[in-house]
């Protein structure tokens, strides 16, 4: 039985397209050029920050976030950046009586913004707030604790086979991969995706899949 569903944030419930466009603008790089390099970095399995370092070798994300804020061009997201299927999915799962939460790699300012969205969730956890990042096992140990303590009763949903599905499964959780975001379309790890309980193209699919799984008593 699935009793709790926890979601990655960026690329899963939040569309990061606008965010990456603002980074291209900040770096003074044509958006299509930034996008091309970003895709190549993902395909090679590298840290996405290598994209920034291609254009600025001394790039430091935390420092640049502060510089952007000081320049009046802070990182931000809002309702318009939610994938259209995110809010209905979260609400539907809550209506099934499930524990629902968010748990992703996000900087300090993101937690406040996520709370401001007033989503139907029981918990919001970020790497900044928890002091540990995916794919560290400690991050997913925290997910298990927040989700009730029984890893086998938790479904973790994410767009990345490397940062989401593989470490969540290693922690004993059930997993769901959603095929969207650059990682979802470019990074193909069949050995990981084939072990997922669900593989979906839209969060619209998830509530009925969970309901059927629980009705079958799996």
Q: Token pair 């790890």 is at which residue? A: 189
* Cα 151 off chain centre by: 19
Domain with CATH 3.40.50.1000 in the chain: 4-15+79-215
Check if the beta carbon of residue 165 is closer than 8 Å to that of residue 194.
Answer: no
pLDDT category at 51 given cuts 50, 70, 90 is very high
What's the confidence (pLDDT) of residue 141? 97
What's the confidence (pLDDT) of residue 218? 64
| pLDDT beyond 70 at 208 | yes
pLDDT, averaged across the chain: 95
Q: Which two three-digit tokens encode residue 164?
A: 């989401």
What's the confidence (pLDDT) of residue 45? 87
What's the confidence (pLDDT) of residue 197? 97
CATH superfamily, domain at 4-15+79-215? HAD superfamily/HAD-like (3.40.50.1000)
What's the confidence (pLDDT) of residue 107? 87
Average pLDDT over residues 174-196: 92
**What is the dihedral sign for C-alpha 131, 132, 137, 142?**
positive
Distance CA 107, CA 167 (A): 20
pLDDT category at 3 given cuts 50, 70, 90 is very high
Distant-in-sequence contacts of 174-182, Cβ < 8 A, 24+ apart: 174/2, 176/200, 176/206, 178/12, 178/202, 178/203, 180/11, 180/83, 181/10, 181/11, 181/12, 181/16, 182/11, 182/38, 182/39, 182/42
Average pLDDT over residues 64-80: 92
What's the confidence (pLDDT) of residue 109? 84
| pLDDT beyond 90 at 157 | yes
Of 38-52, 89-103, 136-150, which gets the smallest average pLDDT?
38-52
Q: Which two three-digit tokens encode residue 20?
A: 């990456």
What's the confidence (pLDDT) of residue 188? 85
Task: Give the bridge partners for 124, in sequence order.
Answer: 102
| Neighbour tally for 64: CB within 10 Å | 17
């Amino acid at each position: 039985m699935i009793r709790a569903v926890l979601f990655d944030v960026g690329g899963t419930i939040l569309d990061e397209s606008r965010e990456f466009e603002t980074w291209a603008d900040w770096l003074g790089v044509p958006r299509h050029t930034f996008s091309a390099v970003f895709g190549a970095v993902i395909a090679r399995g590298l840290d996405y920050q290598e994209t920034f370092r291609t254009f600025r070798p001394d790039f430091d994300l935390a420092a640049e976030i502060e510089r952007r804020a000081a320049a009046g061009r802070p990182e931000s997201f809002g309702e318009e950046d939610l994938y259209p299927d995110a809010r209905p999915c979260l609400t539907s799962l809550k209506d099934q009586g499930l524990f629902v939460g968010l748990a992703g790699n996000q900087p300090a300012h993101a937690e406040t913004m996520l709370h401001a969205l007033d989503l139907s969730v029981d918990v919001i956890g970020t790497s900044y707030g928890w002091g540990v990042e995916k794919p560290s096992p400690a991050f997913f140990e925290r997910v298990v604790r927040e989700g009730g303590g029984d890893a086998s009763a938790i479904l973790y949903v994410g767009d990345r086979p490397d940062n989401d599905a593989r470490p969540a499964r290693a922690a004993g959780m059930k997993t769901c991969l959603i095929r969207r975001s650059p990682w979802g379309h470019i990074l193909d790890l069949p050995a990981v995706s084939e072990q997922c309980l669900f593989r979906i193209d839209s969060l619209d699919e998830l509530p009925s899949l969970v309901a059927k799984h629980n009705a079958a008593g799996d």
